A = this chain, B = another copy of it.
């Protein structure tokens, strides 16, 4: 499962925008906890006090940003995280923030052979 990072600032902004609402963040968290199996819309609605149409609206926003996918299962629609895409967003943020040096972001660092002081490549130019 290779991370799929946003390719442009506009794409990245759209992904952050998808998370920029408490109801969507709550749905996002619900789907994180649901794991790869996902959760049906009704279960997410039940946990979030949202009307069906409001939930549908917000899930569509998450899906438009590529953070979530959905499929029909009988009369239900099941949603699950696009884990690779989410990993891509985190990688994007870490790259922007840390320029390839995760420890600057407060993240744990992988145990690797010494690189003779050669720093990791900085974030490349992006439109």
Interface pair A87/B99, CB less than 8 Å apart: no
The reply to whether the CB of A91 lies closer than 8 angstroms to some CB of chain B is: yes
Q: In the bound complex, do residue A22 and residue B3 qualify as a contact, i.e. CB atoms below 8 Å apart?
A: no
Confirm or deny: A50 has a beta carbon within 8 angstroms of a beta carbon on chain B.
no
Which residue of the partner chain B has the closest CB to A29? B96
CB pair A108 B110 closer than 8 Å: yes
Interface residues on A, range: 35 or more
Which residues does A use to contact B, with CB under 8 Å?
Answer: 1, 3, 8-10, 12-14, 16-17, 19-22, 24-26, 28-29, 32-33, 83-84, 86-87, 89-91, 93-94, 96-97, 99, 102, 104-111, 122-123
25 A-B contacts (beta carbon < 8 Å):
A1-B106, A3-B106, A8-B22, A9-B22, A12-B25, A13-B20, A13-B22, A13-B25, A16-B16, A16-B20, A16-B25, A17-B20, A17-B21, A25-B96, A32-B99, A33-B99, A33-B122, A86-B105, A87-B106, A89-B93, A90-B94, A93-B93, A102-B107, A102-B108, A108-B110
